[in-house]
Structure 1
Amino acid sequence: MDEAKPGFWGVLKRPFVLDLRALALLRMATAAVVLVDLAIRSTDLEAHYANMGVMPVPVLLERAWTPYQFSLHAASGLWQVEAVLFLLAALVAGALLLGYHTRLATVASWVLLVSLQNRNTLIGQGGDDLLRMLLFWGIFLPWGRVWSRDARDKPAPARLDYFGAATVAYVVQLALLYWCTALLKNGAEWTREGTALYYAFSLDQLVLPGGRLLYPYPELLRVLTFGAYFTELLLPFALFIPVGVRWWRLLVVGVLFFFHLTISLTLFVGLFFLINWASILGLLPPLALDWLERRFGRLAPLARRWHAKLPTWQAPWRLRLERTRPPTAGGLRLARAARETFVAVVLAYVCLWNLDDVAVLRPRGGRLPDGLRWFGYLFRVDQHWGMFAPTVFKDDGWYIFEGTTARGQVLDLNRGGAPVRYTKPAAIVSLFKNDRWRKYSENYLFVDFAWMRPYYCNYLLRIWHENPAHPPLRHLSVVYMKEVSLPNYQVAKPTREVLCDCELPPQPEAPSATMRN
């Protein structure tokens, strides 16, 4: 690799030279995460993406939209249309996983993912930004050059190391993620008191058994808090050290793997840890990849035979996806220069966006002008890495969906219609179907999102009355039993807060509610 090359330029670019095999692993892992994400989201086609759910298209366009966004998923309010788009996205992600028409599959996966994320922004989390950016930078990376169906018809590359503007963008993007995550955590509980993880593990909406095991040990939590903060703040610097690159990369990959493993065992964060695991695979040095090839080399002939069975696809309108004749040297240079320039400009824009997002880094009077933000919203290179920042959310609690029947029974729709109980459930996390619903429920609390509350009420009423075994309701209240996290293991008394009231007309067969917040 370039580590053996003398000269200032060779040394300068060492941290950004990546192995084509690592990029192939990055491609496959990214595609696999997209497929898992689609599988989880597909269980809520109607609830999250159709007009009969919690976010009808007209409401989306009125309340959570910018003129520069696009969404194929917002073209219709029918769940059947969403199902077709989900199936298309899964097919495209499968092609990306196999490295089949890789560039086209990458572009299509990125477009469909952006479209999906734009359809309902109230269920998004930080990992979604990273997954979106991995696909965006992947458009410009040669991550289908090896270990792919496309590589079957091409000669083996003369070199396995690759350097370009996209590799710089990929490494810088990972560094920005962790730097900004740390710098946005400017509250005293992160920087001075060391109580951030104590408060995080106090959140019954998030804590998992691993977090419960650590929670009773305040000094350990203090050490782990500072450890997490300084890992995010300092570890990215290792990505830019031009000496001993392979060892620094192994350190970064190893530390981040166990860092996110710990998060996944202690906090309910959905796919966040999987997305982060996928994102670091492109950093693997040749040392690790050579070991992997020796370890799993016997699978290569099987993979080649399986890839050989895939047909060569041709568009029915005779648009040829491959060049009809060899490109000229001048054409290749021009295309590469245009690509590298575009990637460099976008990377500079992404850096400015993150500088603007982190107040401590923002130059005085240097806010990103509103006239430039359209680019970020259009291409969805906008990003925010404020996980548990600037401080940990303190408004813990649990939901009770109080449904009153015509006979006066009070049922909890959040527990399948069981009689209402105000005692805290043993496992609040189990009340959420998945992390998308948990995130939606978190946003549901904020006053800025009070407009979304009636739509959720209406959805709850409709799905309840769709089951003929359920007794008709005449009233529904979405109740939040608020239990504020207190310091030093103090326990607050839960308070009952009614977020939304729904009065139904006398006819049970027409559960169109009159809402009031």
Structure 2
Amino acid sequence: MLNEHPGFWGVLKRPFVLDVRALALLRMATAAVILVDLAIRSTDLEAHYANLGILPVPALMEHAWTPYQFSLHAATGLWQGEAVLFLLAAGVAGALLLGYHTRLATVASWVLLVSLQNRNTLIGQGGDDLLRMLLFWGIFLPWGRVWSYDARDKPVPERFDYFSAATVAYVVQLALLYWCTALLKNGAEWTRDGTALYYAFSLDQLLLPGGRLLYPHPDLLRFLTFGAYFTELLLPFALFIPVGVRWWRLLVVGVLFGFHLTIGLTLYVGLFFLINWASILGLLPPVALDWLTGRFSPYAPRVRRWQGRLPAWQLPWRLRLERTREPTAGGQRLARAVRDTFVAVVLAYVCLWNLDDVAVLRPAGGLLPAPVRWLGYLFRIDQHWGMFAPVVFKDDGWYIFEGTTATGKVLDLNRAGAPVRYAKPASVVALFKNDRWRKYSENYLFVDNAWMRPYYCNYLLRIWHENPAHAPLRHLSIVYMKEVSLPDYQVSKPTREVLCECELPAQSQEPGAGKKQQAEE
């Protein structure tokens, strides 16, 4: 069949042919997101990653760990050790951004990102899975071939198009993300009633000003609900149409850019929309890249002069993932065959993992039985795209940290020690330092995570007493003012739920007692 139609293979692979300039943009955007993520996470080095924080290493190993995971960040319980790892991660991410020893920087960034995410799974979100997979597939992509420090002395490639098993994996991964997101949304709110966004915008802990503008319009919310659902379900098919590829790519990139911009303006989802923006840059067709190149060509001489002033640093060791000399033709074919075979096997595994996640009917033990799931946990190619699925979370509310002083005064530690009041804050989102804390507070509610509650309670007490200006506390209650989202703009009466309580012994209620007790321990 293929011999009778010699052009059939060429047509079949068209949707998976990518421009190396687009891959360079994908590399730079991925590295930039990693740097932003590290900057945000670094404000909570002790709270999120040290033994004095909300998840000590022993608790992590007991409750949120598998024997196949690894984490360099779990090797130390000190925030100072975490700071060193964060600086190392920032350094290799910077090298990835510049395209300096690109393959090695990609591998190192992936290892450190997996290590960081494994250290505290209680603050993770769906975007973290995507960022991790972009780095993983990037190991096998030539995203340092152009627009990189590595390419500064090399001639511009005669052709920018590139095809391999890794480009197939990248395109299929993006399609799986949106298909599985849609298929997991099998509740009536998404598929029949069109009320999913109404309930999403009813969540005060997520609602941003853009969402407030849309919330009073039920017909618009119903239209946007079905629009979001069918965009996720149908748009990925456009990635596999082998004719008019560049126009379909422009459509996909344009729609997804607007789609995630809307999410970012209406819902408090942290870096989720930025990660998704970065992920689609590799799809840009040559027509868009030619336009971009033309727009920025006047700055190219300046960039080359800047690159020329950079020292030609070399790594202090000989072992590198980059080629030190040109391989033979036979060696190159063998290396490519081994690489493409490995990528194809991993891609098949990822497809099975996602299919097992969304399957309505599955055999006993699942499509991926337990004995082979270790591979997903070890390389962190496990993934779950259940955003607002199967239905939207409805247990809305806000936290009050009721601290009782030795004199009987009741303070709210969640509002810097102001007197407790139970009325809903004007902005619930403003109570969270960042989206990592918001995600942690969401996980804090689940009964299955009840084990984590005392750690947070004790952490809040400790950091409160470290400030000598704070009044000593004898009791702390973590209270959730639960306000269930109701249909048709009905408002439920908030109910007070005590999730955790901590009592301090009398000798610990003196100013500075927290530090003294810590030193004694």
Question: What's the TM-score bracket when you normalise by the shorter of the two chains?
Answer: over 0.9
TM-score by length of 1: 0.96
Q: CA deviation at 1:131?
A: 0.2
Query: Identity of paired residues, percent?
Result: 87
Note if contact 2:478-2:499 (Cα within 8 Å) is conserved in structure 1. Answer: yes
Moved more, 360-369 or 223-232: 360-369
Residue identity in the other structure for 2:96: L
Note if contact 1:207-1:267 (Cα within 8 Å) is conserved in structure 2. Answer: yes
Residues 431-470 of structure 1: pairs in structure 2 closer than 5 A: 431-470=431-470
Q: CA deviation at 1:364?
A: 7.8
SS, match of residue 48 in structure 1 = helix
Q: What corresponds to 1:485 in structure 2?
A: 485
Query: Residues of 1 paired with 2:158 and 2:343: CA distance?
Result: 25
The structure 1 segments of at least 4 consecutive aligned residues displaced by more than 6 Å after TM superposition are: none
- Residue 260 (str. 1) matches residue 277 (str. 2): no
Q: CA deviation at 1:388?
A: 0.1
Q: CA deviation at 1:329?
A: 1.1
Query: Residues of 2 paired with 1:324 and 1:226: CA distance?
Result: 53
Q: What corresponds to 1:217 in structure 2?
A: 217
**Count of aligned positions:** 509
SS, match of residue 21 in structure 2 = helix
Residue identity in the other structure for 1:109: S
Query: Residues of 2 paired with 1:325 and 1:53: CA distance?
Result: 48
- Residue 170 (str. 1) matches residue 170 (str. 2): yes
Q: CA deviation at 1:316?
A: 2.9
Residues 51-200 of structure 1: pairs in structure 2 closer than 5 A: 51-200=51-200
Query: Residues of 2 paired with 1:152 and 1:506: CA distance?
Result: 67
Query: Residues of 2 paired with 1:322 and 1:450: CA distance?
Result: 47
Decide whether aligned partners of structure 1 residues 21 and 324 sit closer, same or farther in structure 2, where only a CA change above 3 A counts.
closer
- Residue 49 (str. 1) matches residue 49 (str. 2): yes
Residue identity in the other structure for 1:226: F
SS, match of residue 230 in structure 2 = helix
Note if contact 1:314-1:320 (Cα within 8 Å) is conserved in structure 2. Answer: no
Q: Deviations over 1:75-99 (max 9, x none)?
A: 0000000000000000100000000
Q: CA deviation at 1:310?
A: 2.8
Note if contact 1:355-1:361 (Cα within 8 Å) is conserved in structure 2. Answer: no
Note if contact 1:99-1:148 (Cα within 8 Å) is conserved in structure 2. Answer: yes
SS, match of residue 151 in structure 1 = coil
Q: CA deviation at 1:319?
A: 3.7
- Residue 280 (str. 1) matches residue 276 (str. 2): no
Residues 293-308 of structure 1: pairs in structure 2 closer than 5 A: 293-308=293-308
Note if contact 2:101-2:322 (Cα within 8 Å) is conserved in structure 1. Answer: no
Q: What corresponds to 1:474 in structure 2?
A: 474
Query: Residues of 2 paired with 1:322 and 1:265: CA distance?
Result: 41
Query: Residues of 2 paired with 1:326 and 1:25: CA distance?
Result: 26
Q: CA deviation at 1:359?
A: 2.4
Residue identity in the other structure for 1:283: L
Query: Residues of 1 paired with 2:325 and 2:482: CA distance?
Result: 67
Decide whether aligned partners of structure 1 residues 33 and 325 sit closer, same or farther in structure 2, where only a CA change above 3 A counts.
closer
Query: Residues of 2 paired with 1:93 and 1:361: CA distance?
Result: 42
Structure 1 gaps of 5+ residues are: none
Residues 385-404 of structure 1: pairs in structure 2 closer than 5 A: 385-404=385-404
Note if contact 1:209-1:265 (Cα within 8 Å) is conserved in structure 2. Answer: yes
Q: CA deviation at 1:321?
A: 5.9
Q: CA deviation at 1:152?
A: 1.1
Query: Residues of 1 paired with 2:285 and 2:499: CA distance?
Result: 52
SS, match of residue 402 in structure 2 = strand
Residue identity in the other structure for 2:205: Q
Residues 395-414 of structure 1: pairs in structure 2 closer than 5 A: 395-414=395-414
Decide whether aligned partners of structure 1 residues 490 and 379 sit closer, same or farther in structure 2, where only a CA change above 3 A counts.
same
- Aligned-pair Cα RMSD in Å: 1.5
Note if contact 1:28-1:96 (Cα within 8 Å) is conserved in structure 2. Answer: yes
Note if contact 1:30-1:275 (Cα within 8 Å) is conserved in structure 2. Answer: yes
Q: CA deviation at 1:367?
A: 2.8
Query: Residues of 2 paired with 1:316 and 1:163: CA distance?
Result: 33
Query: Residues of 2 paired with 1:322 and 1:349: CA distance?
Result: 27
Q: What corresponds to 2:14 in structure 1?
A: 14
Q: What corresponds to 1:247 in structure 2?
A: 247
Q: Deviations over 1:441-500 (max 9, x none)?
A: 000000000000000001100110011100000000000000000001110000000000
Note if contact 1:396-1:482 (Cα within 8 Å) is conserved in structure 2. Answer: yes
TM-score by length of 2: 0.96
Residues 17-28 of structure 1: pairs in structure 2 closer than 5 A: 17-28=17-28
Query: Residues of 2 paired with 1:32 and 1:60: CA distance?
Result: 29
Decide whether aligned partners of structure 1 residues 362 and 172 sit closer, same or farther in structure 2, where only a CA change above 3 A counts.
farther
Q: CA deviation at 1:138?
A: 0.2
